Structure 1
């Protein structure tokens, strides 16, 4: 489910009653093996209702089960602290759910799974986590970084409170074949440079988040102590604040 990747700015009528945003997570995979970093995007099917034919990042709503999934390692304490910043206040278990949801959605939509083999462990995972169990992996959120948070404007019929994560492509431990095909939600996957043609008509919020990621990548290795922007709307305008500031 790729809806949260765009955070829906100006894509729907804005006269709906108030809907509480649903927690969601998006994962931007980055390949830094070459001289210019590339990000992984998937092109949506032309016949889907939301953003047909657009290039998006994998993402979707948090599931109730995300917090209960066994993991190869806990989320870094610094990442947890970033996720706990801002309002409404959330619990540490909810922070874990957000990070795990990003990994689950990426595997479901792209077939690329971020996990790690834990010596002696035979993962008992099913449903969307079965690909991990089949490869003797547990999901591994230890390499995730929070890049941004964004909330869909009021008045939209679908609203998301989305956390945008990034991880290095080297964290991909398993590939599920056949997930992306002509009749799937994503019909192709492409590694592209930030600012390249496939991203030229990306959603406005997607471009905002990519600009943040590009600035972070330009400073060297990603760090948890970098400012995390929070995009939200009031008074009919978008505002960019810093979480925890």
Structure 2
């Protein structure tokens, strides 16, 4: 669910919104967001979904699919392990990230994208398919297991203190070529997302994104400008202290 877009209310280095006295501290919950890129044309495009006008949070706004990690995400069988370089990036920072937590974050990004957009990143495997149900049923029906091997970590961001909901969000990206299955009917006029649009980086729909999401998108655009995505690129970490949002680099 795209409520994770509220990770912060101000760009790095600028004053953030006043902390709410009646919510002095809420522990951030792990969350994941997936930015899908189509680089088949002359300019890269990213997939955004338009939220329903009647939802409470960010009505009518364009968002990237994402949401909270489920407690069972680390148990979901996958078609391929997380690449060691991606796992190493997820291990960076504090508190210490375990292997199961790293897997949960990557798997959650895939699950949320499929739930909200109907686009599934999976792969067929040889032999009998393990039991998949609930949000993973579309994968089972298509004979797929989720495949995190195509993911890259772009950024990490934590919601400032004082919010009633706080998230420790990892922003992933993957190429559109990793989409192997499409579930019909997920996006419709009465759904959470009423429309999906592939838009060029820098275009008008992206100007109205949440400030932190725009920060992350800027990081992605800079990385794309240097060539193919790489796991060894610096991963920024946006977090709040001393009254401001700061941008550090994970592992630096």
- Same fold (TM > 0.5): yes
RMSD: 1.2
Tell me what 1:219 maps to.
226
Tell me what 1:84 maps to.
91
Tell me what 2:76 maps to.
69
Work out the CA distance in 2 between the residues paired with 1:6 and 1:18.
16
2:169 to 151, 162, 166: 162
Report Cα offsets for 1:101-157 as digits up to 9, x if no partner. 000000000000000000223241000000000000000000000000000000011
1:93 to 84, 100, 107: 100
Q: Give the TM-score, by structure 2 length.
A: 0.95
Contact 1:13 1:156 in 2 (8 A): no
DSSP 3-state at the match of 2:36: strand
DSSP 3-state at the match of 2:224: helix
Work out the CA distance in 2 between the residues paired with 1:222 and 1:21.
28
Deviation at 1:8, TM superposition (A): 4.0
Tell me what 1:7 maps to.
7
Report Cα offsets for 1:1-44 as digits up to 9, x if no partner. 11113414269873122000000000000000011000000000
Query: What residue ranges of structure 2 are gaps of 5+ in the alignment?
Result: 11-15
Tell me what 1:58 maps to.
65
Q: Give the TM-score, by structure 1 length.
A: 0.97
1:39 to 14, 35, 46: 46
Work out the CA distance in 1 between the residues paired with 2:174 and 2:5.
16
Residues 45 and 12 (structure 1 numbering): CA distance in 2 closer, same or farther, change over 3 Å? farther
DSSP 3-state at the match of 1:142: helix
Work out the CA distance in 1 between the residues paired with 2:58 and 2:166.
15
Query: What residue ranges of structure 1 are gaps of 5+ in the alignment?
Result: none
DSSP 3-state at the match of 1:64: coil
